[in-house]
Every structure is written in C-alpha cells, then in structure tokens.
C-alpha cells in the first residue's frame, strides 16, 4: 500500500497517529498538519515525546582553534518545564493526547526522569497552560534531512561576517510571557570583542534587553540545568523578553555579525535556543560575564 497516512485515516484503518521525528524530542513538530488530516474522523493525534535531545556531533569545523572535537551528549534529561513547553506546543496546534516512546532506555539508570516525564505527559492542557514552561530548541540531526525525511536545514546555523542568519522557532506563549521571561541562545566561536546585531521578528533587540553575556573558553559540562551535556567554547546570551516580547506562534531570531576579528577564519554557529517562561534566576551556562555589547 505504501506510506499513505491520509488514506489510512480517511478509510478508518488507524485509530491514532503519533507524529514524531523518530526518537527525538522536537518542539517544532507540525502537529497541525496531522490534525487537519484527522479532522472529521475518529482518528486521534498523539504527538510523541522522546527522552533524547541532540545527535552526537563533531564541533571541530566550527571551533578550529580547539585541539579536540567535542560531542553533545544526546542524553539530556529535560526539566519538567522543558517537557511542558514541548507539550504546550502540541496542545496549541491540535493534539488530542500525548504518546511517549523509547523511555524504556532510561528506566534502569534514571527512573526518576521517566516518572517525571510521564507525570507531565498526564497533565491536562489546562494544567500545562497554568504552570511554568520552557521551550528548548536543541539541534537534532546535523544533515539536511533526518532519517524520517524531516527538514533539518535550520537546526544549526553557520554564519560569518555580514552574513545574517535567521532561526525559526514556535512557542504557544506570546506577549503573555511573564516579566521574568528569558530568551537564551549560544553562539560558538564568537569572541569577546566581536559584535553581533540581533533582531526578533524584524525588530532590533535593544542593548537594554541583553540581560547577560557569558563567555566560556574551555570545554566544560553545562551546569545543573542540563546535566550530562558537554558544550564547546561559546558566548551565551540571555535576553529579557519583557523588553522584546515574542509572538504566539512562529517567531524569527536574526543575528548579523557586525564586527569580527580579522584573524579568526572559521565560522560562528548558532544553536541551543531556549524560551524560558518560568525563569528562576539560574544562568544558562558556566563562564564569566562580559561587559555589555
């Protein structure tokens, strides 16, 4: 018969569909596409959550000045807030429920994470809307398409001097994010005196909104926010969303290197964007603070 979910749904051959990019937690899953296929049928939409976050990757090509490649550890144990943000996106775009997959891999050495993840999955959409949430856009596959065929070009963005890049992301929250909301991201191979112009949905991010910039020069493990994940040298930004609110739905973060050291030949790389609605005062990563840009 071939892979034809639209026909299967119309014919009543399946009870539910579970959209997922094969094993990876994906905040950008196009749930609405499947909800449209199931509209007017008895087929439910149960998008999937998985315990894995990011593919192993060699960072040598974007950190030419470091002697050894560094791998992301894909076993990032998401916080309840980060899981809830993903599920809020699912709820917003038409999910009838939640499907959990592959958590058997973590039941032996991290049973508490498995219990927490399923507790969040069992919350009602109303409960998730009234509780703290974060949206964490880690890279998944480093190729143009994942094994399931999903578009992945925009997951990890490389850029050089005067080359703007735009990261697309979606959040169920919009301007209703509390005053404590933060937008976080990391730029690898960016140096202290380099300057980056930033815009959110076409509006320049004012310097006053840049709550924090932190530099890490050595390969370190992230702090307790993301246990188990190793990250290469980078500058981490924290943006105050009270001064540049998001849109509910699809958003664009644009970066343009306006000043770049002439002796630095390799590109920068943008990834690990997080919209933290329930910010609790914990900084994104270890490192030392830089002066305002």
Q: Which pLDDT band holds residue 65 (cuts at 50, 70, 90)?
A: very low
Q: What is the average pLDDT score of the chain? A: 77
Cα atoms in the 13 Å half-sphere on the side-chain side of 225: 18
pTM: 0.81
Distance of CA 102 to the CA centre of its chain: 20
pLDDT above 80 (res 243): yes
Under 8 Å between Cβ of 135 and 275: yes
- What percent of the chain has a predicted confidence (pLDDT) above 90? 29
* Domain boundaries of the chain, sorted by first residue: 5-289
Cβ atoms within 10 Å of 132's Cβ, excluding its own: 17
**How does pLDDT run across 162-204, given as a tens digit for each residue?**
788 898 889 998 777 766 688 888 888 777 778 889 999 999 9
Pairing state of beta strands 230-231 and 220-221? Answer: antiparallel
**What is the H or E stretch that residue 184 is in?**
strand 182-188
């Amino acid at each position: 018969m071939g892979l034809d979910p639209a026909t299967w749904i119309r014919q009543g051959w399946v009870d539910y569909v579970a959209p997922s990019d094969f094993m990876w937690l994906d905040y950008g899953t196009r749930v609405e596409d499947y909800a449209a296929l199931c509209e007017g049928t008895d087929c439910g939409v149960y998008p999937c959550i998985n315990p894995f976050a990011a593919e192993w990757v060699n960072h040598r090509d974007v950190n030419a000045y470091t002697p050894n490649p560094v791998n992301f550890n894909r076993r990032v144990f998401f916080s309840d807030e980060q899981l809830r943000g993903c599920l809020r996106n699912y709820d917003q775009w038409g999910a009838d429920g939640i499907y959990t997959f592959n958590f058997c891999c973590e039941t032996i050495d991290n049973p508490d994470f498995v219990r927490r993840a399923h507790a969040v999955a069992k919350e009602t959409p109303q409960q998730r809307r009234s509780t703290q949430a974060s949206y964490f856009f880690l890279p998944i596959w480093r190729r143009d398409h994942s094994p399931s065929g999903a578009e992945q070009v925009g997951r990890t963005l490389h850029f050089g001097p005067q080359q703007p890049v735009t990261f697309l992301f979606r959040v169920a929250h919009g301007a209703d994010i509390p005053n404590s909301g933060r937008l976080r991201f990391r730029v690898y191979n960016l140096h202290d005196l380099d300057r980056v112009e930033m815009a959110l949905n076409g509006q320049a991010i004012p310097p006053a909104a840049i709550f924090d910039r932190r530099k890490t020069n050595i390969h370190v493990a992230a702090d307790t926010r993301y246990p188990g994940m190793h990250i290469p040298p980078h500058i981490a930004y924290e943006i105050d969303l009270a001064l540049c609110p998001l849109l509910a739905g699809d958003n664009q973060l644009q970066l343009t290197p306006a000043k770049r050291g002439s002796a630095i030949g390799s590109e920068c790389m943008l990834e690990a964007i997080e919209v933290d609605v329930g910010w609790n005062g914990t900084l994104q990563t270890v490192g030392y603070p830089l002066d305002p840009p």
